Structure 1
Amino acid sequence: MSIKGNLEMEVRVLGSAREVGRSAVLLKSSSTNLLFDFGVLMQKEIGFPVHVQPKDVDAILLSHAHLDHSGALPLFYLSNGPKTYTTKLTLELSKLLIEDLLRISGFYLPFEYLDLLEMMRKTITINPNDKVKISPFEATFYDAGHIPGSSSILVEGEGKRILYTGDLNDEDTQLLRGADYEVGELDLLITESTYATEDHPPRSEVEKSFVEYAKEVVERGGTLFVPAFSVGRAQEIACVLSSHRFPYPIYMDGMALKTNEILFRYPEYLRDSKAFRKAINSVEVVTSWKQRKKIINTPSVIISPAGMLVGGAAVFYNQQIAQREKNAISIVAYQVQGTPGRTLLEKGLALVNGKPTKV
């Protein structure tokens, strides 16, 4: 795709076109090439964007930490890669998620931990709403309201104004303020469209319905398992339950616990840092298999990654919780095609002792 004017630019979509995952968009001008994100597609085999040589990229602009936007970035640092620009919180959360991908992945990955460290070394962090000069362009990072540290990125230069929204949420949540920025007229808008055709009910109704259902499950003696992304969604679920004064035990497991510790250090990125701390302090942390085996028989809510049931403690909880009729599983995030979460959502099937079982 070309943007014509006094100086022509080219936009190449390297990933995430007609799919959810491996987001990557290359903006090529007469003098400078900018890459927005470079993520992975989490399926049975990890998918990567269309390859681009590090020497053909002058700078990388990272919108947020989720692996579908950040997970393939270390590929650029097998050799002398370009600088990456992002918020400080996004950099720290990206390191956490990519480290986990390297540690637990059963897939072959074409990069190693040292490449991740090189990526960290060559990243320049900026604050929300600040501008950074990447000659001949200026890039401004606006709060996208998606997860803590997430950004929509406005690029201005060579007579053009281009907005890359990244994943975007313009509605306040318990955890975050919604995106609220004015950028004026644009020559090009590059935006995500995961829920473009969906008509969502008011958030207050969704929260109330979720909390009431959680109470119903616990009061009948069951356990509600909520598989949730370790960055953003797990914390939001805890905040929702806390704000509605949920009176029963809440457990949190997995890498979400490390995310909590990081977010405590960045209160300025949160809508209400005191409410967040209260919510997290009200949950019981799970750190051992002995605890896991105990709480699956405890009337409660269990929040644990991975959000699509592809790994982590969620695999154990999914198998165990599915075996008792009075239990329940709540899917609270988008599920990519081919993941166990998508199979559970569409077909009501969970793997129990290696066999697909109706739940």
Structure 2
Amino acid sequence: MKFTNLSRGNEIGSNSYLLECGRTNIVLDSGMHPKRDGLDSTPDFPLLRDRMIDTIFVTHSHLDHVGTLPLLQKEHPEADVYMSPETIDLADALLHNSVNVMRSRAIEEEILEYPLFEHYDVEEESKLWLPARTRNRFSVGRDEDPVTAEFFDAGHILGSVGVRLEHDGKSLFYTGDVHFEDQTISMAADFPRDHVDTLVMETTRGASERRPDYTRSSEITRLIDAIEETLERGGAVLIPVFAMGKTQELLTILHGCKQRGLLRDAPLHMGGLSTKMTTIFDRHAATTRRKNKGFRILREVDLQMRRRRDRSPLRPQAGGIYALSSGMMTEKTTSNQFARGFLKNPKNSIIFVGYADPASPAGAILEADRGDQIQLDHRYPAEPLNCDVHRFDFSGHATREELVHFATDVRPKKVVLVHGDTPALDWFQQTLSRELPDSEILIPQPGQALEL
């Protein structure tokens, strides 16, 4: 086997990797970098120009893993594309939304390369996606060099999987994004713990140490306390959330707390892309491995929904809770637009429950002190941060300690570290070199081919 990092940097961005198994060529994921523009946001697909790609595996439907799939498929129409049935539905919705975003940015920011693909590309390429359920072995690749594949629930978001591959007596496991603890909807990853020759592992939280007294239940208690304190003083609560995964987890948490009398019956608003994604989560509520099986958010949760044609700005009302996308408050998203004027009111609170890139508006708010000027959108003046700011740990990624434990369980001969920034990668390389002294711990540089 040979592994090549197609990402353009060692970071969380346009995740994509080439795996050569004899004459069978496999691509693992096809992401789009959320902080780069045009072709610079894509993996280094020119590295594949003279190759025939036999199979593409998509581990889940977040933009940094599936955002350039139509582009890859157009360049390699011969490839079979496999993902879970849930990912098929979510990825289809995400990619159509991505076309809309790229079209808008092409006009407003004069990015000539956008859109990288069109709606008809998504429609045509999605017809070729093949569903594969977890814990079902199947064969891919060329007849003379077949590879056995098997998906395992990764516990990250709905439909997320890790992939085990076997070829010529050798095995490889690719974690994708993984979570080893139960969330409110997603159950903990169901990964095998038997030996593999090569482990390709995410490192997202490698630079982040979780506090020793952390429990999910205590984090929920702290979240509800912060909301109640804000509502008690007559303020409103803004919770920027990712439309896919984090929104559904949060809404289920708040609904459960209301049902148990832990949270008052405050108006709960949802906005942005979240509604469409929640519809898909509900569609799979009774057919997937999950907690709260059969629970349908749009039917059970008392939500304040905006009419589809209502284009007027959403305004905060005292006593309301607003779960709005995007989670990083990117310019032109619902949460960013809503925050203008919201931040300067000292009665309000803004609550973060997921990852925020330091360069994003959400990251700027988290790093700021009260009274600092926040530039939410370059088109408008900065405004003072007078409201309370809270952050809680509801990450969908495994802790670094859990990933180390998994790696020591499967006892790989080689560990390939991906999906992390430099401090995270370095922490894992140092720690695993100590915990697995007989294993080779590798950080693949962009474009570098590693013999496995």
Which of residues 358, 362, 376 is equivalent to 1:351?
376
Is the Cα contact below 8 Å between 1:44 and 1:339 reproduced in 2? no
Amino acid in structure 2 at the alignment position of 1:298: A
Is the Cα contact below 8 Å between 1:238 and 1:279 reproduced in 2? no
Deviation at 1:262, TM superposition (A): 1.2
3-state DSSP class of the match of 2:56? strand
Higher relative contact order (CA 8 A, sep 6+): 2
213-222 vs 38-47, which moves further: 38-47
3-state DSSP class of the match of 1:191? strand
Whole-Å Cα distance in 2 between the matches of residues 16 and 191 of structure 1?
18
Partner of 1:61: 57
Residue 13 of structure 1 pairs with residue 5 of structure 2: yes
Partner of 1:132: 138
Deviation at 1:355, TM superposition (A): 2.2
Whole-Å Cα distance in 1 between the matches of residues 245 and 184 of structure 2?
11
116-125 vs 343-352, which moves further: 343-352
108-117 vs 202-211, which moves further: 108-117
Report the RMSD for the aligned CA atoms in angstroms. 2.2
Paired residues in the alignment total 351
Change beyond 3 A, Cα 1:222–1:289: farther
Whole-Å Cα distance in 2 between the matches of residues 210 and 239 of structure 1?
13
Amino acid in structure 1 at the alignment position of 2:277: T
Which of residues 327, 342, 349 is equivalent to 1:307?
327
307-316 vs 90-99, which moves further: 307-316
Which of residues 102, 122, 129 is equivalent to 1:116?
122
3-state DSSP class of the match of 1:342? helix
Deviation at 1:165, TM superposition (A): 0.5
What 5-or-longer segments of structure 1 have no aligned partner? Answer: 1-8
Partner of 1:4: none
Deviation at 1:86, TM superposition (A): 0.3
Whole-Å Cα distance in 1 between the matches of residues 309 and 3 of structure 2?
49
3-state DSSP class of the match of 1:95? helix
Deviation at 1:109, TM superposition (A): 2.9
Deviation at 1:275, TM superposition (A): 4.2
Amino acid in structure 2 at the alignment position of 1:351: L
Which of residues 255, 273, 282 is equivalent to 1:255?
273
Whole-Å Cα distance in 2 between the matches of residues 194 and 142 of structure 1?
19
Deviation at 1:118, TM superposition (A): 2.6
Change beyond 3 A, Cα 1:104–1:226: same
3-state DSSP class of the match of 2:341? helix
TM-score by length of 1: 0.91
Change beyond 3 A, Cα 1:259–1:12: same
Is the Cα contact below 8 Å between 2:52 and 2:78 reproduced in 1? no
TM-score by length of 2: 0.73
Whole-Å Cα distance in 1 between the matches of residues 348 and 15 of structure 2?
36
Deviation at 1:17, TM superposition (A): 5.1
What 5-or-longer segments of structure 2 have no aligned partner? Answer: 107-113, 386-452
Partner of 1:147: 157
Residue 324 of structure 1 pairs with residue 349 of structure 2: no
